[in-house]
Amino acid sequence: MAEFGPPAVLVAGSAPDPEPGAGQVVVGVSVIGIAFVETQRRAGRSFPPGDQPRLPMIPGNAVGGVVIAAGPGAAPELVGRRVVSSTGGSGAYAEQVAVAAAEVIEVPADLDLPAATALLADGRTAIGLARLAGVSAGDRVLVEAAAGGVGSLLVQLAAGAGATVIAAASSQRKLELASGLGADAVVDYTEPGWPERVRQAAGGGVDVVFDGVGGSIGQDALALLGAGGRFVLHGLASGSFTDTSAAAERGVQVTGLRQWASLGLDNRELTRLALVEAAAGRLRPVIGQTFPLAAAADAHAAIEARSTLGKTLLLC
């Protein structure tokens, strides 16, 4: 990627095979996970102030594959193991990547690499958010973007905890998916009056909102919470975060990714838990579509068109 801009700036190219440095391994990549935020970064948005990367760059942060080489100080027995790993924020859209050996997580034997890669970021995020919210039996939970990578997992986790789950999404196809994952009711949030339909399904307001959309949808969802409600921020698919400045005076607790560290949530342990739960059949990542690595631009275009379900993967 030589410039920021539309999906077409993602073009296939060649690069030297990476060599593992001290404490590193090289992963022969089979699967690459795409996060929504990567489409924004490709366009030149969603960078912390002063932290825009230098170009050219290889985007991407999540890979699954087999370790093919170990550098000095890395355990040689890792070679041949199936693993998933973050790449530090860039470099994942490639056939081989060098990553810190301490970052790789071995994939359980009963789980395939696409499922494991789909869970690398989304699994730990969903489990951590559910813990932040303290979802329990009897809660009435609204999940926005319920057919997305994180949202589809939150539906399953909330339903598994015994909560009443109302899933909100933007098309009949997405609502049908959420229903099949355990949602008790589904609502199309592109239709006028959708908050009232949530109230009807919940028998009043809700206790927990998982806000992955933000903007006006997030504002409407926030209004569904009363005193003691929990509003969990984790995304801005609309392009802007929900304004929660008046939440505290209404007795609504706002949490999100910024509170992650304060609760001692460990990303690696959460990822391992997600993989174990999936291997046991208790958590199912939704892989809605796959693209070859060379078609990364098409994958980004599909995500931005809101035509995707669940997680989008690139395959090498």
| 172 and 214 belong to one structural domain | yes
| 222 and 302 belong to one structural domain | no
pLDDT at 313: 98
Asked, for residue 111, whether it belongs to a domain, the answer is no
Q: How far apart are CA 67 and CA 59, in angstroms?
A: 20
| 98 and 135 belong to one structural domain | no
pLDDT at 48: 66
Asked, for residue 212, whether it belongs to a domain, the answer is yes
Please count the structural domains in the chain. 2
pLDDT at 283: 95
| 129 and 257 belong to one structural domain | yes
What CATH number is associated with residue 94? 3.90.180.10
pTM equals 0.92
What CATH number is associated with residue 177? 3.40.50.720
Question: Could you tell me the residue range of the domain that residue 23 belongs to?
Answer: 7-106+286-315
Asked, for residue 150, whether it belongs to a domain, the answer is yes
| 141 and 241 belong to one structural domain | yes
| 177 and 296 belong to one structural domain | no
pLDDT at 236: 74
| 141 and 230 belong to one structural domain | yes
Asked, for residue 189, whether it belongs to a domain, the answer is yes
| 97 and 225 belong to one structural domain | no
Name residues of the chain where pLDDT drops below 50: none
pLDDT at 188: 97
Asked, for residue 57, whether it belongs to a domain, the answer is yes
| 151 and 202 belong to one structural domain | yes
CB 218, CB 145: distance < 8 Å: no
- For residue range 202-231, list pLDDT tens digits in order: 999 999 999 999 899 999 999 999 999 999
Q: What is the 3-state secondary structure (H, E, C) of the chain?
A: CCCCCCHHHCCCCCCCCCCCCCCEEEEEEEEEEECHHHHHHHCCCCCCCCCCCCCCCCCCCEEEEEEEEECCCCCHHHCCCEEEEECCCCCCCCCEEEEEHHHCEECCCCCCHHHHHHHHHHHHHHHHHHHHHCCCCCCEEEECCCCEHHHHHHHHHHHHCCCEEEEEECCHHHHHHHHHCCCCEEEECCCCCHHHHHHHHHCCCEEEEEECCCHHHHHHHHCCEEEEEEEEECCCCCCCCCCCCCCHHHCCEEEEHHHCHHHCCCHHHHHHHHHHHHHCCCCCCCEEEEEEHHHHHHHHHHHHCCCCCEEEEEEC
pLDDT at 49: 63
